[in-house]
Amino acid sequence: MLTFTLRRLLLAIPTLLVISLVIFLLVDLAPGSPMAEIPLTVPPDVRQKMIEALGADQPVFVRYFLWLRQFFWVEPASLIDGWFGTTLAEGEQRILSWQSRSPVFTIIGQRLPQTLTVIGTAYLVGILIAVPIGIYSAYRQYSWFDQAGTLFAMIGFSVPTFFSGTLLIIVFAVWLGWFPTKYDTQLVVNDWASFVKQIKQMAMPVMTLGLANAAAISRYMRSSMLDNMGMDYVRTARAKGMSERTVVLKHVLRNSLIPVVTVIALGIPAIFGGAIITENLFGVNGIGAALIGAIHANDLPMVQTLAFIFAVLIVLFNLIADILYGLLDPRIRYD
């Protein structure tokens, strides 16, 4: 397993380098200019100066290699500086956002907490809702519960979060006045009152995303359960005279969870990616909102860095999913 992991990690390096170049070229070739959001009242020569100050007029390969150097050397070095008070990255240019002129990694650091809390909780809630629904739906296939579950999943799939989120806002914020519509990223949870506040402000985005997540995962769970339910070993277990609980929860569920767990693991990079629409709608201002904002502003360093981090996470979690599969399913061995 260890050699497998190491080999896969080594293999990932050239893959990621190619990905980074492709992303860079794609982002660079995308139409639009970093000046598109600047009002028309700023005259062309000033715009040109601004572009030069950003370094956006340099040839694409110069900028790409600069970015590579910044990403793989300057940023880690400045991280180490931050930890140990060294001066490795002194005088080096960190990756700066064109839009805000702040270091991209500072922005990511500011945004990751709310993305992870909100989107991560939503994912967790989604899983917690989906797994029991999936299990019971499969166990009682075609019962009214299963039909209701199918309907729920269909709604979760087909209703865009933009719509469900707005609906929640109208019901819970405008009519009932229970929850705030704008997420306060500055809230520090240090006592019961602030904790309640945090729960309240998370409620609606978590519900919105949780529904969407639960829809997908409950379907996976159900079909995986159904696949296993008909297997002979389940009959064997019944024939052994095991209780129904044991049969379903031990034999069927454990085997059914293998593919579901990998699907869940593969979905985790998406948590880091945030949820663009939901984040925007509720003012969560996490990574998703940063990405879309950067795309709108043609903020190449930000888009490039985020996209590349996602690529890294996707590669990483693919590996983790494979390893998990190996750990969970004794039939799979990588050595």
Partner 1 sequence: MLDAGPAPLVQVRDLKMHFPIYAGIFRRHVGDVKAVDGVSFQILPGQTLGLVGESGCGKSTVGRAMLRLYEPTAGQVIIDGDDVASLPPEALRKKRPTMQMVFQDPQASLNPRMTLAEIVSEPLDEHTDWSRAQKLERVYELMDQVGLNRRFVNRFPHEFSGGQRQRIGIARALALKPRFIVCDEPIAALDVSIQAQVVNLLEDLQEKLGLTYLFISHDLSMVRHLAQRVAVMYLGRIAELSPSKDLYARPLHPYAEALLSAVNEPDPELAARRKRIILKGDVPSPANPPKGCNFCTRCPKVMDICKTVKPDLAEVEPGRMVACHLYTSAAGSTGAPEANERNQQGETR
Partner 2 sequence: MKLRAALMGAVAVLGIAPAAFAERGTDGEVKLTFPQAVSIMNPYLSGGTKDIYASSMVLEPLAGLDPNGVLIPKLVTEIPTLENGGISEDRTSITWKLLPDLKWSDGTPVTADDAVFTWQYCTHPEGGCSQATKYEGVASVEAVDPQTIKVTFNGPKANPYTAFVSALSPILQKKQFEACLGAAAPTCTDANNMPIGTGPFKVTGFTVNDTVTLAANENYRDPAKPAFATAVIKGGGDAEGSARAVMETGEFDYAWNTQIPPDTQASMLAAGKGQFVVAFGTLVERLETNTTDPDPALPEGERSTAKHPHPILSDIRVRTALSKAIDRSILVEVGYGAGGKPTCNVIPGPEGWASDNDGCIAQDMEGAKALLDEAGWKDSDGDGVRDKDGKKLKLLYQTTVNPIRQDFQALIKDWWTELGVEVELKAIDPGVFFGGDPGSPDTFQKFYADIEMYANNSESPDPESYLGQYQCKNAPTPETQWQGENINRFCNPEYDALYATMATTTDLAARQEIAKKLNDMVTKDSMIVIPLVHRGTLSAHSNTLGGVQINAWDSEMWNVADWFRVK
> Which residue ranges make up the site for partner 1 (CB under 8 A)?
142, 231-233, 235-244, 246, 251, 254-255, 328-331
46 binds, among partner 1, partner 2, none (CB under 5 to 8 A by kind): partner 2
Residue with tokens 């993305």: 115
Is position 193 an interface residue for partner 2 (rule: CB under 8 A)? no
Burial class (CB in 10 A: 0-12, 13-18, 19+), 69: middle
Is position 186 an interface residue for partner 2 (rule: CB under 8 A)? yes
| Residue whose CB is less far from partner 1, 64 or 334 | 334
Question: Whole-number minimum distance, CB 144 to partner 1, in Å?
Answer: 11
- Closest of 301, 258, 293, 333 to residue 111, by C-alpha: 293
Ranges of H-type helices in the chain:
2-29, 44-54, 60-69, 75-84, 104-114, 120-139, 144-158, 161-168, 192-229, 232-239, 244-245, 253-273, 276-282, 287-296, 300-328
If binding means CB under 8 A, how many residues of this protein chain bind partner 2? Answer: 57
Q: Do the Cβ atoms of 129 and 326 come closer than 8 Å?
A: no
10 binds, among partner 1, partner 2, none (CB under 5 to 8 A by kind): none
Using alpha carbons only, what angle is made at residue 202 by residues 196 and 208, rounded to the nearest 5 degrees? 145
200 binds, among partner 2, partner 1, none (CB under 5 to 8 A by kind): none
Name 227's Cβ contacts closer than 8 Å, sequence gap at least 6: 256
Question: Whole-number minimum distance, CB 55 to partner 2, in Å?
Answer: 9
Using alpha carbons only, what angle is made at residue 90 by residues 84 and 93, rounded to the nearest 5 degrees? 120
Give residues 278-297 in contact with partner 2 (rule: CB under 8 A): 279-285, 289-290, 293, 296
Question: Whole-number minimum distance, CB 47 to partner 2, in Å?
Answer: 7
Question: Whole-number minimum distance, CB 255 to partner 1, in Å?
Answer: 6
Q: What sign for the dihedral angle of Cα 291, 293, 294, 296?
A: positive
| Residue whose CB is less far from partner 1, 209 or 323 | 323
Q: How far apart, in whole angstroms, are the C-alpha atoms of residue 314 and residue 138?
A: 30
What are the tokens at 283? Answer: 């003012």
Is position 190 an interface residue for partner 2 (rule: CB under 8 A)? no
Q: Do the Cβ atoms of 100 and 290 come closer than 8 Å?
A: no
| Residue whose CB is less far from partner 1, 69 or 238 | 238
Question: Whole-number minimum distance, CB 165 to partner 1, in Å?
Answer: 31
Give residues 51-80 in contact with partner 2 (rule: CB under 8 A): 51-54
Is position 303 an interface residue for partner 2 (rule: CB under 8 A)? no
Say whether 87 sits in a helix, a strand or coil.
coil
Quote the distance between the C-alpha of residue 9 and its chain's center: 21
148 binds, among partner 2, partner 1, none (CB under 5 to 8 A by kind): none
Give residues 90-109 in contact with partner 2 (rule: CB under 8 A): 93, 96-97, 99-103, 106-107
Question: Whole-number minimum distance, CB 26 to partner 1, in Å?
Answer: 43
Positions in the binding site for partner 2 (CB under 8 A):
31-33, 35-54, 93, 96-97, 99-103, 106-107, 110-111, 169, 173-174, 177, 180-182, 184-186, 279-285, 289-290, 293, 296, 298
